[in-house]
Each structure stands twice: as C-alpha cells, then as structure tokens.
Amino acid sequence: MRDIVTLACTQCKRRNYTTTRNKKKTQDKLELKKYCPFCRVHTLHKEIR
C-alpha cells in the first residue's frame, strides 16, 4: 500500500528527498517543509512523479 514518492523544492525545482506515503489514506499530493541544501533555507517541498 505504501508507495515511494519524490519531493522537489518549490524554489529551485531540484529533487532532494524521497519518502513513502499511504495512497489510500492520503489521496492528495504530499507537501512538507524541508531543508533544501541548494537554496540553504527551509522551503516547501512538493510531491512529484
């Protein structure tokens, strides 16, 4: 049930993190505030394909 998803920074568009999510419980795309090492600041990271 859990699928691996990739998180990309919304400012620089680089793919920084991978995580898993349950597709049955969370049907919308994942959005987390994480640290971007390229921007060197905490930014919003969104799930991409």
DSSP-derived secondary structure letter, 7:
E
Which domain, by its residues, includes 27?
2-48
pTM value?
A: 0.86
Q: How many domains does the chain have?
A: 1
- Please enumerate, as own/partner, the contacts of 22-30 that have beta carbons within 8 Å and a separation of 24 or more: 30/5
CATH number at residue 34: 2.20.28.120
13 within 8 A of 24, measured Cβ to Cβ = no
pLDDT for residue 37: 95
> Mind listing the pLDDT tens digit for each residue in 1-49?
899 999 999 999 999 999 999 989 988 999 999 999 999 999 999 999 7
In order, the DSSP letters of 19-35 are EEEETTT--SPPEEEEE
